[in-house]
Amino acid sequence: MITKKLYVIGAFVFLLLLLIPLFFESTFVLHMYTLIFFYTALTAAWNIPAFGGQLSLGHASFFGIGAYAGAILYVKYGVSPWIGIAAAGAFAMLGGMVLSLPLIRLKGPFFTLASIAFAEVLRMIAIDWRSLTNGSVGINIPFKPALMNLTFQSGKPFYYISLTLAVVVVYLTYRIRYSALGFHLRAAASDDEAAKALGVNTSLAHFVALMWSSAITGVLGLFYVFYIYVLEPQTIFSLDLFSLQPALNGIIGGMGTVWGPVIGAVLMTPLGEFLRFYLGTIQQGLNYVVYGLVLVATVRFIPGGIVSLLAPMMKRKSAEKAAKPAIEKEAR
């Protein structure tokens, strides 16, 4: 019953979201929703390795690689961003492969550290390799509105694009979590040695998870840069915006669950923007002080994230699920 109710609520919310641009002309409202959708997708992608307990603080790397791949192909070689999607995903995945090298031997904090370092390195390379990336000046996407150019007169198309991305990515993570890969990742997160003893190639599972995550993140990076038109190495590879933010959303919503990232992104994106604009203008850095406090407090007081607070409801849900097969069995 409750499962059904949730589906109905979900469908209703989705319909409502489809209608919003028809009623709100305010660019601010549309922008806020678009950002929320981007961050939902980004956090969900970040969450895939987190199913296996791997905590990345360097997803800006993949985001940035995808963004650069798309922008360079389009601006320098005139390749449509729609075709660029494949390149963005592929190059980001390549980056994921490089980062996964230490994964063969490293778990936990060292992987996290390697991920931070990786994004830092990419930022420096992007600044240094002027012939390709234009250095610290960055790349501007020329304003030539056309569907082929992924450039539009109004904010509405991107509202729908980002909504679609969010839905697709969340659905993908849902599929992954309940697939063999998802089971392997969860087992590895819970007890790596026991998982291996049961035949699970945990290293491979972590690797595949990172491949999915990096490729998806790269594609998101491409869409994002066409949404905001500007690509600067300092911003796109920023630790705060695209590495820490998805991780923060994830941990606050509930790391390693399907809905945690959604809840986290929906709550934290408006809060983050608010803090950036209000506190950030009063005093530079104040917003991050709040972030740091929220992070430490969440870990201390609700380590399972907000999803874990909703657990009683979920429990009932799973109890009903469990009851169903029993009834079916009896019927047979």
Partner 1 sequence: MDLYAQVLVSGLLLGGVYALISIGLNLIFGVVRIINFAHGEMVMLSMYLTFWLNYFFGLDPYLSALIVLPVMFAFGFLFQLFVVQPILSTSATMKIFTTVGISLLLQNLALIMWKGDFRSVQTSYSMSSIEVFEIIISVPRLVAFGAALASIIFLYCFLKYTYMGKALRAIVEDHSVARLMGVSVEKHYLFAFGLGTMFTALGGVLLVPFSSVFPTVGITYTLVAFVVVVLGGLGSMSGTFLAGLFIGVVESFGGTFVSPALKEAIYFAIFILVLLVRPQGLFGQGKGTEEVGLK
Partner 2 sequence: MSLLEVKQLTKRFGGLVAVNKMTFEINKGEIVGLIGPNGAGKTTVFNLISGIFPASEGNILLNGRELKRMPAHRRSLAGIGRTFQVVRPFEMTVLENVMVPALARNKSTKLARQKAEKVLEMMGLDQLSDSEPGNLTLAQRKRIEVARALATDPELLLLDEVLAGLNPTEVAENLPIIRQVRDSGVTIIFIEHLMDAMMSVSERVLVMDQGALISSGTPAEVTQDACVIKAYLGEEDPQC
Residues that bind partner 2 (CB under 8 A): 178-180, 183-184, 186-187, 190-191, 193-202, 318-319, 321-322
Q: How far is the CB of 186 from partner 2 (least distance, A)?
A: 6
**Are residues 32 and 66 in contact, defined by beta-carbon separation less than 8 angstroms?**
no
Whole-angstrom CA distances from 324 to 174, 194, 246, 312, 330 are: 22, 31, 36, 19, 10
Q: Burial of 273 by CB count in 10 Å (0-12 exposed, 13-18 middle, 19+ buried)? A: middle
Q: How far is the CB of 239 from partner 1 (least distance, A)?
A: 8
Q: How far is the CB of 315 from partner 2 (least distance, A)?
A: 10
Residue 8 interface partner, choices partner 1, partner 2, none, CB cut-off 5-8 Å depending on type: none
Tell me whether residue 183 or residue 288 sits nearer to partner 2 (CB atom).
183
Amino acid making up residue 269: T
**Are residues 127 and 136 in contact, defined by beta-carbon separation less than 8 angstroms?**
yes
Tell me whether residue 9 or residue 125 sits nearer to partner 1 (CB atom).
125
Tell me whether residue 58 or residue 70 sits nearer to partner 1 (CB atom).
58
Reduced to 3 states (helix: H, G, I; strand: E, B; else coil), residue 178 is coil
Reduced to 3 states (helix: H, G, I; strand: E, B; else coil), residue 284 is coil
Give the pairing type, strands 139-140 and 230-231: antiparallel
Residue 9 interface partner, choices partner 1, partner 2, none, CB cut-off 5-8 Å depending on type: none
Tell me whether residue 81 or residue 138 sits nearer to partner 1 (CB atom).
138
DSSP 140: E
Q: How far is the CB of 293 from partner 2 (least distance, A)?
A: 28
Say how far apart CA 107 and CA 185 lie, in whole Å.
13
Say how far apart CA 275 and CA 242 lie, in whole Å.
16
Reduced to 3 states (helix: H, G, I; strand: E, B; else coil), residue 25 is coil
Residue 190 interface partner, choices partner 1, partner 2, none, CB cut-off 5-8 Å depending on type: partner 2
DSSP 239: I
**Are residues 73 and 149 in contact, defined by beta-carbon separation less than 8 angstroms?**
no
**Are residues 251 and 243 in contact, defined by beta-carbon separation less than 8 angstroms?**
no
Residue 130 interface partner, choices partner 1, partner 2, none, CB cut-off 5-8 Å depending on type: none
* Positions that interact with partner 1 (CB under 8 A): 53, 55, 57, 98, 101-102, 104-114, 116-118, 120-121, 124-125, 127-128, 239, 244, 247, 251, 255, 283-286, 288-289, 291-293, 295-296, 298-300, 303
> DSSP labels for 124-151?
HHHHH-HHHH-GGG-EEPP---BTTTTB
Tell me whether residue 180 or residue 297 sits nearer to partner 2 (CB atom).
180
Q: How far is the CB of 317 from partner 2 (least distance, A)?
A: 11
Q: How far is the CB of 117 from partner 1 (least distance, A)?
A: 5
Tell me whether residue 249 or residue 257 sits nearer to partner 2 (CB atom).
257
Q: How far is the CB of 232 from partner 1 (least distance, A)?
A: 16
